[in-house]
Amino acid sequence: MNMEGKFIISPLKDELIKDINQTNDYFKVFGRVVPSLQSGKWSYEEILFDETREIRFPDDHLDWSQYINLEDKMLFLAFIDHTCIGQIRIVKEWNRFCYIENIAIKKEYRRYGIGKLLLSEAEEWAKQSRLIGMSLEAQDDNLGACRFYVKQGFVLGGVDTLKQSYNSNIGTTLYWYKVFE
C-alpha cells in the first residue's frame, strides 16, 4: 500500500510540539554493520544476529521552540488524520551539510515510504539553504536503519569507535553522507 498523498508533512509549530515524541517507537535490532577502510575508501559487511531484539531510544526533551521559524534548524512532522506518524529533525552544520539529528516513523507506518518523503523534505530544505549534502550518525547495530540510508543514496564516510564507549551494546558509531549533485 502506498501512503504517499494520504498524509501531510508540516514544519513544527507551537501547537504541534505535543506530537513530537509520538513517533518514538521500538525498532528491531537484527544485525550489525562491520566497516572496513581500504585505500581511503569505506566498505562494510553485514553480520546478522542469532536473535532479534527490540529497543527504543529515550524520548527527546529539547527546547522545541528552537526548531520553529529558524534558518539554521527545522523539524518536519508527518501526519495522517491528525495523528503524528513521523518526524525528521535537521540542523545546518559548520561543514555545509544538513545534519539529521533524528528521523523516526511510528512502527505501524514503517515501510510505506514516509521516511523517504521526510528525507526528501529535508533534502529540499537543505538545497534551499545552499548546503552541499546531508549527514547523520547511526549505531553499528542498527542494520535496518543503515540499509534504509544506503537505499536513499547515503554512503559510509567514517566511523568512531570511542563516541559510545559508555554503552557496551554499541561498538561503533557510523557516519553516513549524501552529497548533492
Please report which helix (H) or strand (E) contains residue 148, including its range.
Answer: helix 143-151
88-132 pLDDT, tens digit per residue, is: 999 999 999 999 999 999 999 999 999 999 999 999 999 999 999
Instruction: Set out the domains of the chain in order of their start, with CATH numbers.
Output: 8-179 (3.40.630.30)
Q: How far is CA 118 from CA 9, 29, 48, 89, 155, in A?
A: 8, 22, 28, 10, 18
Report the mean per-residue pLDDT for the chain: 94
pTM value is 0.93
Q: CA 12 to CA 25: how far, in whole Å?
A: 20
